[in-house]
Every structure is written in structure tokens, then in C-alpha cells.
Structure 1
Amino acid sequence: MTQLERTTSSNWALAIVQALELEGLVGKDLFATLGMNHELLADPDARIPQDQMTRLWELAVQLSNNPAIGLNMARVIRPAHFNVVGFALLSSTNLREGLARLVRYQRIIGEASDMSLLQSPDSYTMELHIHGDTVPAPRQSHDAAMAYMIAFFRWMTGEQIVPLQVSLAYPQPADISSYEALFQCPLVFGASIYSMSFAREVMDAKLASGNTTLAQMHDQFAGDYLARFEQTRVTHQARQVLCRLLPQGEPKRQSVASALSMSTRTLQRRLQEENTSFQHLMDETRRELAMQLLRQRRLTLLEVAYLLGFADPSNFFRAFKRWFGMPPGQYREQHLESKMPNLNDTGDPD
């Protein structure tokens, strides 16, 4: 069955190009090399496939020899890069409300992003996972999102906001000075997920730009955009829910439907309209995540099986052999360990 491609807003793609050009690269040349249409960056309604953006990052790392190039996003701040979401953030009462809006409307910026906001007695934590389609999303896309977010928060408040902690899901590079200079907080490399935590008092402080009337207006604009956009995108919504639920065990159709505020019958109908089914989507999501998780060498095969929602690891091994024609251990050895070092994985040779 044909799957719809995840896409990225041209506004966000433009920010990425501007960040890459700070490294001395030329956006038009990068697009030409990859066979991408550079003119799309001038169309605020255009969308660019996620896999093309992944290849853009990979080419930029190769040419610049800078695995931390994603951090350049902190230097190109403009509300319009977030489409209408940027202005909704600006009119929020506080950063907590703004971050909640970012989570709610994240798919306007990029469908590949799966973002959540967790609360604790003393802090708020933003968790982030960016998914690929046929190729895993690179670490630079995660770096870019987190760098842009902290810089945007500082720009909004006029304060040097410092996170409590930043966690990054790849091994520590040899040189972390650029990370220390940007985030100015404890850094955890090799984490299980990308995340950034903030003190409650920082997130709850009132913003000078806060305006309830404007916030409601921007919510309407963002909601209308998302409603139009999502009419044929239930596949992506369901896939994001599956990604969140799989580590807790195999998700039931009812759980996914409830998360999407629809009945199981409606979910099935909408998936059929998009030429897929719940079971097929589950299988494809697991297959895609398996490729990404196996890139993380610190995870054992049993851990990968459980993160994919398999209660019995033998079921994972059978499914994997059906997907790729070989056991996961052999796949990991052939597709990862036998290759030259991949800067998108570690930033440094193994």
C-alpha cells in the first residue's frame, strides 16, 4: 500500500538553508546537487518531503565537515520560520503556554516531528523525536530543532534562558564546546530520547508580548490550517501515536483512535481512504523504527524488540526476517558495523 510522504514546511526549510549558509555553503547549489526545487523556499504554502531534508543535512555535513552544523539554527531566528505557529507563540501568556502551542501545532512546521510536553513538580520537559520516511532522520535535524527552540525562547523573553538539562540521543562527540556555548547547562549524550528541561518558574513567567486576544486569533488561524492539512493525513497522525505507544506494548486500535479523538470505525475508514489499514500501518511503523533503533549500538536486540512493542522477542525476530530477509543482528552487522563511520550517528569515527 502506498504511504503518504511526511513533509516539512518551506518556512522551516528556509531557516535550515539560512543556517547552512552560515557555514559558507550555498543553498541553491545544495538543492541543485540533490535535484531539489529551490524555488519552493519562496512559497510559504509549499511542503518539502522529509527524506529530501534528511539528504540536505547529510550533504551539508559532508561538505562542511561539521557534524554540529544543526546548532547554527540558533542564529537565524524569525517567527515566520514557524509559519503561523511562530506568531501564536509570541502572543502566548508564558513559555509554558507557548510550548504547549508548539506541541499542538507541530505538524504545521514538520510532519516528521513527534513532540510532547511532560510536567513534574519542579520542571517541564520537552521530548522530541523526528522520524524519517525511507531513511532515518539525522541527528542534525534534532540539534536544529532544539537549538532553534532555546534561541527562540531567549529572543521572546529578552532573557538568557538556561535549560536545566539537555539530553541528546547519540554518543558524545570529541568536541562539545559548541553545545556548551549554546545551551549553557548540563548535557547528557547517549540518552534514550532527545529532550530539554526547564524550571517551572522560567516557563510560568509572564511574557511582555503576551496577548490573549491575539493568541486566540492565531489559534484560529493555526487550527484552520491544520484542519485543512489533516483532512488526508490521518495516516501520519496515527503513525505518530503508534511511535509514542509502542514502547508500552503493542497498541490497540481503540487506544490509537481515542488518542486521535475518533471512533475505531472512523479511524479504520480514514485509513482506508488513504490506502492503508491499521495493521499495515503498525507493521510499517515498526519496520521503520527498527531501522532507526538498530543504528543505536548501545541498544541490545531484546531492548529493540521491547521498544517496538513486542512482548515476545521471538515475534520481533520473525517479523524482522520477514521485513529484511535476515535476522536483526545480521542486519546491524551488514548495514552499520561494516560501513565507514557515519557522522550522523556519532560525529566522530568509531
Structure 2
Amino acid sequence: MRERSTSSNWALGIVQALEMGGVDCRAIFAELGLDYAALNDPDARFPQDAMTRLWQRAVELSGNPAIGLNMAKVVRPASFHVVGYALMSSRTLKDGLTRLVRYQRIIGEGADLSFRPTPRGYELTLAIHGDRLPAARQSMEASMAYALAFCRWMTGQPIRPLQVLFQGPPPADLQPFEQVFQGPLQFHADHYGLLFERADMDMQLPTANESLAQLHDRFAGEYLARFSDTRVTHSARQVLCRLLPQGEPKRESVAQALHLSQRTLQRRLQEEGGSFQQLLDDTRRELAQQYLAQPALSLLEIAYLLGFADPSNFFRAFRRWFGLTPGEYRAQL
């Protein structure tokens, strides 16, 4: 399966945020074997794992674990590629964020977004998957900070989330997070997310333009078609992430959620170079890495979140994936 990639537009936003924090990204790009000049090529893309290494080196060099929050200061529609303009031309924030979920693979193929109504409002949830490396925490924090800042910028209103959810423990210094998000922060959550008030999501955008929205939809759809070789794989992975905490998902359930027959699902996955069982295994492996980075989750809880009815099956699968027990892997983290 080919590597997940990130658009040069989003990579450029990350670089601007890091350079604002005093990091010499040109030197890091040379160190990682990346083409710094390609940041200005709108069609260029960078491997997701390379972006993870960029975040890791930036934190090491700056000594600032909250450097990802600088993304809130570099807001510009182009960071979201054509998706940014599709958001701006949407009627309401709710319509805009729905488009963001639909087209987010253009920005970064490693991201899984969802946007749904809840009893309290609307929640935008985020997960980022790498290929061989678990995504950097700063990548998640940067994406959330940018999404919120973009909503504020589009509406011209100081939108305050009802809740900001983070996986993992709170940072040593909360002040930068309080300053950027301006809402209640919850750590040790089971996902990253922003909970918005309904009234904020129903807010009309001053840049709304139905004709432009349709035009940008067409551009985004055409661009997204370039990734059609993994489109079903990506959609099936999102369904698996949602179903796993309820037990091991059956192919029938995933096919049903995608409005496909089981046979069609299997054929499409095979055309994309995989199989249902392989995708299930890959998804569990990626999620296991993310969950083990959260000290609040016990190994037993992680086994059940990954859909293993018997924890011993999780331990066996983990040793097959990484050659270590989950406890040994966590100790190395």
C-alpha cells in the first residue's frame, strides 16, 4: 500500500508555524531528505511520516512542546488547498465543516475527521494515522488549533468551544492551550475533538456564495479523484475505527455502512491492493500505537477498544506486529 501523503499547502502552513517558533525548517528538510522548494508547488505532496519527523525535530530543537499551537497564527485559506475556498463559500459553518470532512484527504491522507450532532452541540473529531510512525501529538494539536482559528477567521466572531478534547495527559504548561482554545480543556479523552455550540454552527458566513461553493466542490471532487485508488480503503478504515470498540467488525457490517455488497467491498479492496482482513489488521495496529501512548488507558481497555474479545489475542497480535509485548512497547515510549 502506498504511503499516505500531506499536501504542500498544509506542509507550508506547518513550516510557517515552526519558523515563527524560531525553528530552521530549511535545515530540518535537508536533514530529512525533503525538498524545501516543493513547499511552493501546489501539486507537491510530502509523506505523512516525514511530517511526523519534522514535528519531532522541531520540538527537540525549540524545546517547545506546544509549538503546534502556532498554526492558529498562520490562518489562510490556501493551507486547506481548494478545500479552504470551499469552506469559505459555504452557507454556514456547519456546511463548511461538513465539506472539510468530505474533502480532508486532499489536505492530508493520514487524517480521519468526523463531524456530527451531539446532545450538547456539534463535535468535530480528529485522528491522524502514520504509516510506520504514530502521528506526533503536536500534529493533532496544530490541526485543532488551525480548524478553530479558521472558523473564527471566516465568521469574524470569537467562537469559544464548549469543550476541547485531548488524548493523553495535560501538558506541564496549560497557558498556551488556554490562550488559543479559550474553552474548557479535557485531557485523557478517548479522542481529539472540538465541541461547538449549535448556534455557532448555524452562523451564516459573510463569504457564502452558492455558485462558488458548487465550483469549488467540482474542483475538490476532481482533485480527490486522483486518490481514488485508496478511496474505499480510506472509507472502510473510518468505519472500522467507529465499530471496533463494539467488538470485531464483520465484513458484512462494514459493507452495509458503505452501502456496498460484501462482494463489491472485497473486490474494491483487492483492486486497491489489500483485503478486508489486512485492513482490519492495519487499522488495529495503528490504533494500538495511539492508545499505548495514552498512559491513562490500561492494556485491558486497549484490547477491548481494538475489538478483541479475548485480551490474549491482542497480546499475540501485538507481538506479531512489533516483536514486543504491549507493555514493553509502552515502556519504550
TM-score of the two chains, using structure 2 as the length reference = 0.95
Using the alignment, how far apart are the partners of 2:70 and 2:225 within structure 1? 32
Tell me what 1:58 maps to.
Answer: 56
What is the count of residue pairs matched by the alignment? 333
Shift of 1:239: 2.4
Q: Which sits farther off after the overlay, 233-242 or 49-58?
A: 233-242
Equivalent pair of 2:168/2:293 in contact (CA under 8 Å): no
Shift of 1:150: 1.1
Tell me what 2:93 maps to.
Answer: 95
Amino acid at match of 1:168: F
Q: Which sits farther off after the overlay, 272-281 or 192-201?
A: 272-281
Query: Does 2:317 correspond to 1:319?
Result: yes
Equivalent pair of 1:247/1:309 in contact (CA under 8 Å): yes
Q: Which residue among 287, 297, 300 is the counterpart of 2:298?
A: 300
Shift of 1:89: 0.4
Equivalent pair of 2:9/2:42 in contact (CA under 8 Å): yes
Shift of 1:267: 2.1
Shift of 1:113: 0.8
Equivalent pair of 1:6/1:236 in contact (CA under 8 Å): no
Tell me what 1:283 maps to.
Answer: 281
Shift of 1:257: 2.6
After superposition, the C-alpha distances for 1:328-349 in whole angstroms (9 at most, x for unaligned) are 223333x23xxxxxxxxxxxxx
Q: Which residue among 103, 106, 110 is the counterpart of 1:105?
A: 103
After superposition, the C-alpha distances for 1:8-59 in whole angstroms (9 at most, x for unaligned) are 1111001100111101222221201111111221211111110000000000
Query: Does 2:218 correspond to 1:217?
Result: no
Tell me what 1:340 maps to.
Answer: none
Tell me what 1:31 maps to.
Answer: 29
Tell me what 2:44 maps to.
Answer: 46
Pairing 1:191-202 to 2, within 5 Å after superposition: 191-202=189-200
Using the alignment, how far apart are the partners of 1:166 and 1:268 within structure 2? 38
Q: Provide the alpha-carbon RMSD of the alignment.
A: 1.6
Shift of 1:123: 0.9
Amino acid at match of 2:4: R
Q: Which sits farther off after the overlay, 73-82 or 236-245?
A: 236-245
Shift of 1:233: 4.2
Amino acid at match of 1:162: R
Structure 1 65/326 Cα, relative in aligned 2: closer, same or farther at 3 Å? Answer: closer
Amino acid at match of 2:190: S
Amino acid at match of 1:7: S
Structure 1 261/228 Cα, relative in aligned 2: closer, same or farther at 3 Å? Answer: farther
After superposition, the C-alpha distances for 1:169-226 in whole angstroms (9 at most, x for unaligned) are 1211121111111111111122111111111111102111111121122112112221
Equivalent pair of 1:13/1:41 in contact (CA under 8 Å): yes
TM-score of the two chains, using structure 1 as the length reference = 0.91
Structure 1 299/121 Cα, relative in aligned 2: closer, same or farther at 3 Å? Answer: closer
Equivalent pair of 2:69/2:145 in contact (CA under 8 Å): yes
Tell me what 2:251 maps to.
Answer: 253
Equivalent pair of 2:160/2:181 in contact (CA under 8 Å): yes
After superposition, the C-alpha distances for 1:91-145 in whole angstroms (9 at most, x for unaligned) are 1111111111111111111111111112124411111111111010011001111
Using the alignment, how far apart are the partners of 1:122 and 1:284 within structure 2? 33
Using the alignment, how far apart are the partners of 1:275 and 1:104 within structure 2? 23
Pairing 1:170-249 to 2, within 5 Å after superposition: 170-249=168-247
Identity %: 64
Query: Does 2:118 correspond to 1:120?
Result: yes
Amino acid at match of 2:44: A
